[in-house]
Chain A
C-alpha cells in the first residue's frame, strides 16, 4: 500500500471513530434529555462520516488499487495525492469548525478545499480507470 494511501486510510478510520462517537451521543440523546444538546452536532457528524470517512477511504484505496499505467512507478503522482489528502483533511476540519462556530466563510473555505482535493484526485486517477491488459501494468493491489 503506498504511503499516501496508508495515511488516508488511517485518517479515514479516525474520522469514522469521531463521527460514530458523535452519532452515538446524538442517537442516545433522542431518548435522554441530558444529551439532547448533542443534536447540535449534526453538521459535524455528517461532515466526518460522509467526507472524512467514506470519501477519504474510497480515494485512499482507489489510489492504491487502480491499475497503474504501463511503465509508471507505483509512487508516481504521490506528491499530488499527498496534497489532495492534506486539502481533504484540512477541508473537513475547517467545515466542522465553521459549523460549530456558525462561521459561514470558514465552512465555505473548508468545502472549497474538499472540492480541490477531489479535483486533484480526479487528475491523478482519471487515466488509471482503464481495462486490465492494456500494457504491462500489474492489476490490483500488490500489498
Chain B
C-alpha cells in the first residue's frame, strides 16, 4: 500500500470520527438550534461525504487502479499529494468557517478558500486518475 494511500485512509478514518462527533454535538439538546449547532450540520455531512467516503475512494484508487509504467507507477506525486493536502486543508477551513458564518461573523474569505481548495483537490485527483482508468 503506497504512503499516499495510508495517509488518505487514516485521515479518512479521523474524518469519520470527527463527522460523527459533530453530528452528536449538533444533536445535544443544550445546543439544538444554537448557531454553533446549525453550522455543524453541513460540516458534519461534508466530513462524512468528502472527508471520509470520498477520501477513502481516493486512497484506494491510488493503490488499486492499473499502474502506469515507469517510476511514477502511482501517478504524479505532485497531483496526488496536492489533492490530499488541498482536500484536507479545505475541509479544515470549512470546519472553522461554517460555524463562524452561521454565527453571523464574516467568514466569506474562509469559505471561498475552502471551496477553491476542495475543487482543486477534485481536479488534481481526476487529472491524476484519468490516465490510470484503462482497459486491459
Contacts and interface: CB of A to CB of B under 8 A. Distances in A.
Which DSSP category, helix, strand, loop or mixed, fits chain B's interface? Answer: helix
B134 A24 contact: no
Interface in A7-36: 9-10, 13, 16-17, 20-21, 23-25, 27-28, 30-32
A20 B90 CA distance: 12
Nearest to B67: A143
Interface string B38-72: 00000000000100011001000000111000000
Contacts of B119: 20-21, 23-24
A139 interface: no
Interface string A36-66: 0000000000000110011001000100010
Interface residues of B, number: 33
Contacts of B108: 28, 30-32
A53 B122 CA distance: 12
A1 interface: yes
A6 interface: yes
B88 interface: no
Nearest to B126: A13
A103 B1 CA distance: 47
A2 B133 CA distance: 10
Interface stretch (B12-20, B23-31, B109-117): B109-117
B40 to A, nearest CB: 14
Given A27-B115, A32-B112, A143-B136, 14 more contacts: A1-B136, A6-B135, A9-B133, A23-B119, A24-B116, A25-B115, A27-B114, A27-B118, A31-B101, A54-B54, A57-B57, A61-B64, A141-B64, A141-B66
8 contacts: A2-B135, A6-B133, A6-B135, A10-B133, A27-B114, A28-B108, A30-B98, A30-B101
Interface of A: 1-3, 6, 9-10, 13, 16-17, 20-21, 23-25, 27-28, 30-32, 49-50, 53-54, 57, 61, 65, 141-143
